[in-house]
Structure 1
Protein backbone atom coordinates (compact mmCIF):
# COMPACT_ATOMS: atom_id res chain seq x y z
CA UNK A 1 0.00 0.00 0.00
CA UNK A 2 1.22 3.47 -0.82
CA UNK A 3 -0.21 6.74 0.40
CA UNK A 4 -0.21 9.16 3.29
CA UNK A 5 -0.58 7.85 6.84
CA UNK A 6 -4.20 8.94 6.83
CA UNK A 7 -4.93 7.18 3.53
CA UNK A 8 -3.16 4.01 4.64
CA UNK A 9 -5.08 3.90 7.92
CA UNK A 10 -8.33 4.25 6.00
CA UNK A 11 -7.35 1.45 3.57
CA UNK A 12 -6.31 -0.81 6.45
CA UNK A 13 -9.55 -0.22 8.33
CA UNK A 14 -11.54 -0.98 5.16
CA UNK A 15 -9.66 -4.23 4.52
CA UNK A 16 -9.17 -5.56 8.06
CA UNK A 17 -11.37 -5.59 11.14
CA UNK A 18 -9.95 -3.55 14.05
CA UNK A 19 -9.08 -6.68 16.09
CA UNK A 20 -7.06 -8.32 13.25
CA UNK A 21 -3.40 -8.72 14.24
CA UNK A 22 -1.09 -7.34 11.54
CA UNK A 23 2.60 -6.87 10.98
CA UNK A 24 3.23 -3.59 9.21
CA UNK A 25 6.61 -2.78 7.65
CA UNK A 26 7.03 0.83 6.67
CA UNK A 27 9.35 2.52 4.17
CA UNK A 28 9.24 6.27 4.74
CA UNK A 29 10.92 9.05 2.73
CA UNK A 30 13.54 9.32 5.50
CA UNK A 31 14.29 5.58 5.19
CA UNK A 32 14.67 5.89 1.40
CA UNK A 33 16.95 8.92 1.74
CA UNK A 34 19.12 7.19 4.34
CA UNK A 35 19.50 4.10 2.17
CA UNK A 36 20.31 6.25 -0.89
CA UNK A 37 22.92 8.19 1.11
CA UNK A 38 24.53 4.89 2.03
CA UNK A 39 24.73 4.20 -1.71
CA UNK A 40 26.27 7.66 -2.16
CA UNK A 41 23.22 8.97 -4.03
CA UNK A 42 21.29 12.11 -3.40
CA UNK A 43 17.59 11.60 -3.99
CA UNK A 44 15.12 14.39 -4.52
CA UNK A 45 11.68 14.50 -2.95
CA UNK A 46 10.25 13.45 -6.33
CA UNK A 47 12.73 10.54 -6.58
CA UNK A 48 11.66 9.40 -3.12
CA UNK A 49 7.98 9.49 -4.07
CA UNK A 50 8.72 7.56 -7.27
CA UNK A 51 10.60 4.91 -5.29
CA UNK A 52 7.74 4.60 -2.78
CA UNK A 53 5.26 4.25 -5.64
CA UNK A 54 7.42 1.56 -7.23
CA UNK A 55 7.57 -0.35 -3.95
CA UNK A 56 3.77 -0.41 -4.09
CA UNK A 57 3.97 -1.85 -7.63
CA UNK A 58 5.90 -4.94 -6.45
CA UNK A 59 3.46 -7.83 -6.91
CA UNK A 60 1.76 -8.91 -3.70
CA UNK A 61 2.94 -12.52 -4.15
CA UNK A 62 6.54 -11.31 -4.31
CA UNK A 63 6.05 -9.11 -1.26
CA UNK A 64 4.62 -12.03 0.71
CA UNK A 65 7.38 -14.35 -0.46
CA UNK A 66 10.42 -12.14 0.10
CA UNK A 67 9.16 -8.89 1.61
CA UNK A 68 10.43 -5.53 0.50
CA UNK A 69 14.05 -5.78 1.51
CA UNK A 70 16.70 -3.10 1.50
CA UNK A 71 18.20 -4.85 -1.52
CA UNK A 72 14.90 -4.55 -3.41
CA UNK A 73 14.69 -0.86 -2.53
CA UNK A 74 18.32 -0.35 -3.58
CA UNK A 75 17.46 -1.76 -7.01
CA UNK A 76 14.58 0.71 -7.25
CA UNK A 77 16.85 3.59 -6.20
CA UNK A 78 19.32 2.62 -8.94
CA UNK A 79 16.53 2.46 -11.52
CA UNK A 80 15.17 5.88 -10.57
CA UNK A 81 18.63 7.46 -10.52
CA UNK A 82 19.45 6.01 -13.97
CA UNK A 83 16.25 7.46 -15.41
CA UNK A 84 16.91 10.78 -13.71
CA UNK A 85 20.35 11.03 -15.30
CA UNK A 86 18.99 11.18 -18.82
CA UNK A 87 19.17 14.67 -20.25
CA UNK A 88 16.80 15.66 -23.07
CA UNK A 89 18.64 16.12 -26.37
CA UNK A 90 16.89 19.45 -26.95
CA UNK A 91 18.33 20.81 -23.72
CA UNK A 92 21.84 19.71 -24.65
CA UNK A 93 21.49 21.29 -28.09
CA UNK A 94 20.36 24.58 -26.55
CA UNK A 95 23.28 24.57 -24.12
CA UNK A 96 25.71 23.79 -26.93
CA UNK A 97 24.40 26.65 -29.05
CA UNK A 98 24.68 29.08 -26.14
CA UNK A 99 28.23 27.98 -25.36
CA UNK A 100 29.26 28.12 -29.02
CA UNK A 101 27.88 31.63 -29.38
CA UNK A 102 29.88 32.76 -26.35
CA UNK A 103 33.05 31.25 -27.82
CA UNK A 104 32.41 32.65 -31.30
CA UNK A 105 32.55 36.16 -29.86
CA UNK A 106 36.03 35.46 -28.49
CA UNK A 107 37.08 33.77 -31.73
CA UNK A 108 35.84 36.63 -33.92
CA UNK A 109 37.32 39.28 -31.62
CA UNK A 110 40.74 37.61 -31.92
CA UNK A 111 40.45 37.28 -35.71
CA UNK A 112 39.20 40.89 -36.12
CA UNK A 113 42.27 42.12 -34.21
CA UNK A 114 44.58 39.83 -36.27
CA UNK A 115 45.44 37.82 -33.14
CA UNK A 116 45.60 34.04 -32.99
CA UNK A 117 42.49 32.39 -31.60
CA UNK A 118 43.32 31.20 -28.06
CA UNK A 119 43.97 27.46 -27.82
CA UNK A 120 41.41 27.16 -25.03
CA UNK A 121 38.71 28.53 -27.36
CA UNK A 122 39.72 26.18 -30.18
CA UNK A 123 39.72 23.16 -27.82
CA UNK A 124 36.28 24.02 -26.47
CA UNK A 125 34.87 24.50 -29.97
CA UNK A 126 36.34 21.14 -30.98
CA UNK A 127 34.78 19.51 -27.90
CA UNK A 128 31.41 20.98 -28.80
CA UNK A 129 31.71 19.67 -32.35
CA UNK A 130 32.33 16.19 -30.90
CA UNK A 131 29.27 16.48 -28.67
CA UNK A 132 27.15 17.61 -31.63
CA UNK A 133 28.35 14.58 -33.62
CA UNK A 134 27.38 12.30 -30.71
CA UNK A 135 23.93 13.91 -30.49
CA UNK A 136 23.31 13.19 -34.19
CA UNK A 137 23.76 9.44 -33.64
Structure 2
Protein backbone atom coordinates (compact mmCIF):
# COMPACT_ATOMS: atom_id res chain seq x y z
CA UNK A 1 0.00 0.00 0.00
CA UNK A 2 1.41 3.37 -1.00
CA UNK A 3 0.18 6.84 -0.12
CA UNK A 4 0.23 9.49 2.53
CA UNK A 5 -0.43 8.58 6.15
CA UNK A 6 -4.02 9.80 5.82
CA UNK A 7 -4.63 7.84 2.60
CA UNK A 8 -3.21 4.67 4.10
CA UNK A 9 -5.27 5.02 7.29
CA UNK A 10 -8.41 5.49 5.18
CA UNK A 11 -7.58 2.37 3.20
CA UNK A 12 -6.84 0.33 6.35
CA UNK A 13 -10.18 1.41 7.85
CA UNK A 14 -11.91 0.27 4.68
CA UNK A 15 -10.14 -3.09 4.60
CA UNK A 16 -10.05 -4.12 8.27
CA UNK A 17 -12.28 -3.87 11.31
CA UNK A 18 -11.20 -1.68 14.23
CA UNK A 19 -10.63 -4.77 16.41
CA UNK A 20 -8.60 -6.80 13.91
CA UNK A 21 -4.96 -7.25 14.95
CA UNK A 22 -2.45 -6.08 12.34
CA UNK A 23 1.29 -5.91 11.92
CA UNK A 24 2.27 -2.83 9.96
CA UNK A 25 5.73 -2.57 8.43
CA UNK A 26 6.65 0.93 7.33
CA UNK A 27 8.93 2.01 4.50
CA UNK A 28 9.70 5.66 3.89
CA UNK A 29 11.67 7.52 1.25
CA UNK A 30 14.40 7.95 3.84
CA UNK A 31 14.53 4.23 4.66
CA UNK A 32 14.79 3.33 0.97
CA UNK A 33 17.57 5.93 0.53
CA UNK A 34 19.42 4.59 3.55
CA UNK A 35 19.17 1.01 2.36
CA UNK A 36 20.31 1.81 -1.18
CA UNK A 37 22.83 4.56 -0.46
CA UNK A 38 25.65 2.28 -1.59
CA UNK A 39 24.00 2.33 -5.03
CA UNK A 40 23.95 6.14 -5.21
CA UNK A 41 20.17 6.40 -5.04
CA UNK A 42 18.61 9.85 -5.39
CA UNK A 43 15.58 11.11 -3.50
CA UNK A 44 13.55 11.05 -6.71
CA UNK A 45 14.52 7.43 -7.35
CA UNK A 46 13.76 6.52 -3.73
CA UNK A 47 10.27 7.99 -4.05
CA UNK A 48 9.65 5.94 -7.20
CA UNK A 49 11.01 2.80 -5.52
CA UNK A 50 8.77 3.45 -2.49
CA UNK A 51 5.71 3.72 -4.75
CA UNK A 52 6.65 0.44 -6.43
CA UNK A 53 7.08 -1.26 -3.06
CA UNK A 54 3.61 -0.02 -2.12
CA UNK A 55 2.17 -1.54 -5.30
CA UNK A 56 3.46 -5.05 -4.57
CA UNK A 57 0.44 -7.36 -4.21
CA UNK A 58 -0.18 -8.42 -0.61
CA UNK A 59 0.25 -12.13 -1.34
CA UNK A 60 3.61 -11.48 -3.00
CA UNK A 61 5.13 -9.49 -0.16
CA UNK A 62 3.68 -11.88 2.42
CA UNK A 63 5.39 -14.77 0.60
CA UNK A 64 8.64 -13.06 -0.36
CA UNK A 65 8.93 -9.96 1.80
CA UNK A 66 10.72 -6.76 0.85
CA UNK A 67 14.47 -7.16 1.19
CA UNK A 68 17.65 -5.37 0.25
CA UNK A 69 17.83 -7.35 -3.00
CA UNK A 70 14.20 -6.66 -3.92
CA UNK A 71 14.67 -2.92 -3.28
CA UNK A 72 17.80 -2.92 -5.46
CA UNK A 73 15.93 -4.82 -8.20
CA UNK A 74 13.15 -2.22 -8.12
CA UNK A 75 15.79 0.54 -8.24
CA UNK A 76 17.24 -1.06 -11.38
CA UNK A 77 13.79 -1.09 -12.98
CA UNK A 78 13.24 2.57 -12.09
CA UNK A 79 16.60 3.52 -13.54
CA UNK A 80 15.93 1.61 -16.76
CA UNK A 81 12.64 3.45 -17.23
CA UNK A 82 14.43 6.80 -17.21
CA UNK A 83 17.41 5.61 -19.25
CA UNK A 84 18.19 7.46 -22.46
CA UNK A 85 19.96 5.62 -25.26
CA UNK A 86 21.40 6.87 -28.52
CA UNK A 87 20.20 5.21 -31.72
CA UNK A 88 21.30 6.25 -35.22
CA UNK A 89 18.45 8.13 -36.93
CA UNK A 90 18.43 5.82 -39.99
CA UNK A 91 18.01 2.75 -37.77
CA UNK A 92 15.22 4.40 -35.84
CA UNK A 93 13.50 5.51 -39.07
CA UNK A 94 13.54 1.91 -40.37
CA UNK A 95 12.16 0.63 -37.09
CA UNK A 96 9.30 3.14 -37.20
CA UNK A 97 8.24 1.66 -40.55
CA UNK A 98 8.01 -1.83 -39.08
CA UNK A 99 6.36 -0.59 -35.90
CA UNK A 100 3.79 1.28 -37.98
CA UNK A 101 3.00 -1.83 -40.02
CA UNK A 102 2.56 -3.93 -36.87
CA UNK A 103 0.31 -1.30 -35.29
CA UNK A 104 -1.82 -1.07 -38.45
CA UNK A 105 -2.24 -4.86 -38.44
CA UNK A 106 -3.40 -4.74 -34.81
CA UNK A 107 -5.78 -1.86 -35.59
CA UNK A 108 -7.21 -3.83 -38.54
CA UNK A 109 -7.77 -6.89 -36.37
CA UNK A 110 -9.56 -4.81 -33.73
CA UNK A 111 -11.73 -3.15 -36.38
CA UNK A 112 -12.55 -6.48 -38.07
CA UNK A 113 -13.48 -8.00 -34.70
CA UNK A 114 -15.40 -4.84 -33.78
CA UNK A 115 -13.57 -4.56 -30.47
CA UNK A 116 -12.27 -1.51 -28.68
CA UNK A 117 -8.65 -0.57 -29.28
CA UNK A 118 -6.48 -1.74 -26.41
CA UNK A 119 -4.71 1.03 -24.47
CA UNK A 120 -1.40 -0.48 -25.61
CA UNK A 121 -2.38 0.05 -29.24
CA UNK A 122 -3.33 3.66 -28.65
CA UNK A 123 -0.08 4.20 -26.71
CA UNK A 124 1.85 2.54 -29.53
CA UNK A 125 0.48 4.99 -32.10
CA UNK A 126 1.21 7.92 -29.78
CA UNK A 127 4.77 6.70 -29.21
CA UNK A 128 5.27 6.18 -32.95
CA UNK A 129 4.05 9.71 -33.68
CA UNK A 130 6.40 11.07 -31.02
CA UNK A 131 9.40 9.24 -32.49
CA UNK A 132 8.51 10.43 -36.01
CA UNK A 133 8.26 14.02 -34.76
CA UNK A 134 11.64 13.73 -33.05
CA UNK A 135 13.19 12.34 -36.23
CA UNK A 136 11.71 15.20 -38.28
CA UNK A 137 13.05 17.88 -35.93
Q: Distance in 1 between matches of 2:36 and 2:84?
A: 19
Q: Does 1:43 align with 2:42?
A: yes
Q: Quote the offset at 1:34 in angstroms.
A: 1.1
Q: Please show how residues 10-89 of structure 1 align to structure 2 within 5 Å.
A: 10-39=10-39, 41-45=40-44, 47-86=45-84
Tell me, what secondary structure is at the counterpart of 2:25?
coil
Q: Quote the offset at 1:7 in angstroms.
A: 0.7
Q: Distance in 1 between matches of 2:17 and 2:75?
A: 34
Alignment partner, residue 129 of structure 2: none
TM-score norm. by structure 2 comes to 0.57
TM-score norm. by structure 1 comes to 0.57
Tell me, what secondary structure is at the counterpart of 2:21?
coil
Larger Cα Rg: Structure 1 or Structure 2? Answer: 1
Distance 1:44 1:86, change over 3 A: farther
Give the paired residue count. Answer: 90
Gaps of 5+ in 1: 90-133
Q: Distance in 2 between matches of 1:31 and 1:83?
A: 22
Alignment partner, residue 110 of structure 1: none
Gaps of 5+ in 2: 92-137
8 Å Cα contact 1:32-1:48 kept in structure 2: yes
Q: Quote the offset at 1:3 in angstroms.
A: 0.3
8 Å Cα contact 2:2-2:55 kept in structure 1: no
Choose between structure 1 and 2 for higher RCO, CA contacts under 8 A separated by at least 6 residues: 2
4+ residue runs of structure 1 moved beyond 4 angstroms? Answer: none
